[in-house]
Structure 1
Amino acid sequence: MSYDVENIRSHFPSLASGIAHFDGPGGTQTPLLVGHAISNTLTGPLSNRGQGVRSELNADEAVGQFRAAMADLLGADPRGIVYGRSATQLTYDFARHLSKTWGPGDEIVVTRLDHDSNIRPWVQAAAQVGATVRWAEFDPTTGELPASAIAEVLSERTRVVAVTAASNLIGTKPPVREIADLAHAVGALVYVDGVHYTAHTSVDVTALGADFFVCSPYKFLGPHCGVLAADPEVLSLLHPDKLKPSTDAVPERFEFGTLPYEIMAGVTAAVDFLATLGNSGDTGVDAAGLGYADPRSRRERLVASSAELDEHENLLRSILDSGVAKLPGAIVYSRAADRTPTLLVEFDGIDSQELARFLASRDIAAGASSFYALEASIALGLGERGALRIGLAPYNTVGEIDRLLSGLSAFITGGQ
């Protein structure tokens, strides 16, 4: 394996703190070049978008480059890339847009496995128009959400199926394409929460069958914002409330107000950095500081990098899983056959919140909560308190896992 994690880590100034970050599912650390892209855009000549002076062109280019980068990352059409403040905000927006055509008798499908941001907006939008919400249940003993669970609640009245591509709580990756095919067979649209999925898997929204796919760049080394990808033809059929002078063009009609060009530039830089992971974090700059060309397209480099990252994270996950299984009283909730390198665990007789605080005292970041996946946490018997979540990211190492396992053992056995 050519994945050079130490070289990759050298691009993250925050890692000099000595903190071992297993909190990636809540947001990753950020490489320096992302910060530079934000700073350079914000402090360079910058105006509202236009085709006149350089400052106008810089703003316009930041938007175009952002759409192209996210389209490459997601296997999407850049004309269907929508910027948002967060995935939650985008989902609330699109629940409102889509619900304009719903009424009594229509049905919306949500799942117990999802983050609340892909549940509550749909539940609330349905309630406002008198539509019915149908719940798809996952199996808490296995963590699996089979397509059959969706099929049980589908009907000819289903308008939208909202489903996660990967659980942010236990890592389960449902068979999204199979679910999408079932939904499309009854004429329903499919809204996929890809926030956790995008950080760990090469995405192809067309192959997934997603009509709408939402993600958050800060979960994959970028700045805090949200992105939605959809077929521009589908977007053209939706008419959001907007200011009269604002454009009706797609995708701009869904982006309200002046865009944060510096944040968009940061997202582009994050995608460019992700494309280097397949070259051991080689950012395309030689020792003399000169750039050089890679003959592959950015999309091809992203797919190759994702494969390298997957191999690295799977190796770490196997060490983590094995080590946790050996600890006394371990109860592991991440049990699905296909899942991300995310582990939800508690230990018999141990308060997970206290355990997380102890780990923090050792500069190990791994939180304990339901992490907004409230329905899933309740279904697992954990209520609102949740459990300890350990998530892997591109910069994690075997040594950090050893530190984590040592910390867990020390607290559990009382040898603090």
Structure 2
Amino acid sequence: MTLDLERLRAAFPSLRSGIAHFDGPGGTQTPAAVGDAIARALTGPLSNRGHAVESESNAETAISAFRQAYGDLLHVPADGVVYGRSATQLAYDFSRHLAKGWGAGDEVVVSRLDHDSNIRPWVQAAERAGATVRWLPFDAATTELDLTGLDEIITARTRLVAVTAASNLLGTMPPVREIADRAHAVGALVYVDGVHFAAHAHVDVPALGADLFACSPYKFLGPHCGVLAADPALLETIRPDKLLPSTDVVPERFEFGTLPYELMAGATAAVEFLAALDPGGATERRDRLGASKASIHQHEHALRSRLETGLAALGDRVTVHSRAAERTPTVLLSHPGRSCRDAYLFLAERGVLAPAGSFYAIEPFRALGLPDTAALRAGIAPYTSEDDVDRLVDGLAAFVGA
């Protein structure tokens, strides 16, 4: 299985700009098919949901197609798919829903590896409920979670464990199933931030051990929105605050107000685009996604190897912080004695976009002890080419004077 990279890149009008995009961890470029799907849905005919006329049926279809597409992508039932404005909004919503049952003596576990959107909502909800927060520690030397004390951190008092499936800062992929098995052994729920993970892996939510799994379509070629996946039976046990006339049916009881049918249509188109990249001989969408994701993985990791080889040739003028044994094709780096923001601007002048910042991953960023307020992050996406990688390496070499 091999990606037809030329055909794939031709599907992205934005790539005609000539920019070499390494900003995928913050949001990928979008294929024309996704924009077309949004425009078709929005220009309709489109009305609020119903079945009396075509415009009402189109709204119903946008919702049902979205749920089925993300059920296939994440390997959950369609009625276990919740639409959200963003993964951050979903984490805040579900932290409030779940914290209704927390109190003094209960504990919530979060990780020092995570994006702040999978830390602060749980910390704040625990504080309001009088519950205690425990932390899974981060080892800055290995850039992995330190799980040596797992049984002492996740105990009979634990109500929920929140952990990432892949770090948006470093690419580190912790052993989520090991953490989930420990949590489930003491009766705790597991909330997994899959935002960065879903962009690079063929996700199987039950196999991960995630009770609740969140991701963001705009990280994998879709529009700006969020998705939460869970077993519908679990969702039936969670009672959100809601308007009196709004439905109490799962999953819609968690979706407030009129849904953006056009964004749902675009998010569905992103899944279908991925499924069609390299489906092999598969016919079912879940299987086509698996085949395409395998080709994407092969392509992205070959480019990661090319990038890391190029960075190694720059010697001690570049420090690569992504060192975990299992990681996505995302590399965090810094330049001793030089500003990473300056590096970002230097590259941008050459048409290479590799942003600088802490990328909302405050806890691991602080643990790394970086000397300035920003590090450079280079993320490889399905449309990244060898030429893109070479331009990045050449630009960094020029910046550090190699």
TM-score category of the 2 structures, normalised to the smaller one:
over 0.9
The answer to whether the 8 A contact 2:205-2:213 is kept is: yes
The answer to whether the Cα contact below 8 Å between 1:215 and 1:227 also exists between their aligned partners in 2 is yes
Name the structure 2 match of 1:101: 101
Task: Name the count of aligned residue pairs.
Answer: 401
Contact 2:77 / 2:232 at 8 angstroms: preserved in 1?
yes
One-letter identity of the residue aligned with 2:94: F
Contact 1:19 1:363 in 2 (8 A): yes
Measured after TM superposition, the shift of residue 398 of structure 1 is 0.4
Whether 1:366 aligns to 2:354 is yes
User: Is the counterpart of residue 397 in structure 1 residue 385 in structure 2?
Assistant: yes
Match of 1:380 among 355, 362, 368: 368
- Native 8 Å contact 1:146 1:175 kept in 2: no
Q: Deviations over 1:197-234 (max 9, x none)?
A: 00000000000010000000000000000000001010
Measure how far apart 1:347 and its partner are. Answer: 1.6
Answer whether contact 2:28 2:219 (CA < 8 A) is retained. Answer: yes
SS in 2 for 1:339: coil
The aligned counterpart of 2:290 is: 303
Q: Which residue of 1 aligns with 2:68?
A: 68
SS at match of 1:319: helix
**How many Å apart are 1:296 and its aligned residue?**
1.3
Aligned residue for 2:272? 272
Q: How far apart are 1:147 and its partner, in Å?
A: 4.0
Percent sequence identity is 63
Residues 115, 360 of structure 2: 8 Å contact kept = yes
Q: In structure 2, list runs of 5 or more residues that go unmatched.
A: none
Compute the displacement of 1:145 (Å).
1.5
315, 320, 327: which is aligned to 2:314? 327
Q: Which moved more, 1:237-246 or 1:149-158?
A: 149-158
Counterpart Cα distance in 1 of 2:100 and 2:138? 29
Q: Deviations over 1:343-402 (max 9, x none)?
A: 001121111010001001111110111100000100111277131100000000001111
> For residue 118 of structure 2, what is the amino acid of its counterpart?
N
Q: Any unmatched runs of 5+ in structure 1? A: 281-293
Aligned equivalent of 1:46: 46
Instruction: Indicate conservation of the 8 Å contact 1:374/1:383, yes or no.
Output: no
In structure 1, what is the Cα distance between the partners aligned to 2:2 and 2:103? 55
Q: Matched residues in 2 for 1:314 and 1:237: separation?
A: 40
1:231 equivalent to 2:231? Answer yes
Q: How many angstroms apart in 2 are the aligned matches of 1:241 and 1:303?
A: 37
Question: CA, structure 1 residues 319+207, in 2 after alignment: closer, same or farther (shift >3 Å)?
Answer: same
TM-score normalised by the chain length of structure 2:
0.98
- Secondary structure (helix, strand or coil) at the match of 1:51 reads coil
Distance 1:296 1:368, change over 3 A: same
Query: Residue by residue, what CA displacement relative to the aligned partner does 1:132-191 show, whole Å, maximum 9, x if unpaired?
Result: 000111111001115435433111000000000000000000011111000000110000
2:229 match: secondary structure: strand
Q: Would the aligned equivalents of 2:22 and 2:378 in 1 still touch at CA under 8 Å?
A: yes
Aligned residue number for residue 283 of structure 1: none
Contact 1:2–1:279 (CA under 8 A) maintained in structure 2: no
Structural mapping, 1:11-22, within 5 Å: 11-22=11-22
Residue aligning to 1:7 = 7
What is the RMSD of the two structures over their aligned residues, measured on CA atoms? Answer: 1.2
How does 1:10-159 map onto structure 2 within 5 Å? Answer: 10-159=10-159
Q: How many angstroms apart in 1 are the aligned matches of 2:254 and 2:230? A: 12
Q: Distance in 2 between matches of 1:89 and 1:236?
A: 20
**Partner SS, residue 139 of structure 2:** coil
Match of 1:253 in 2: 253
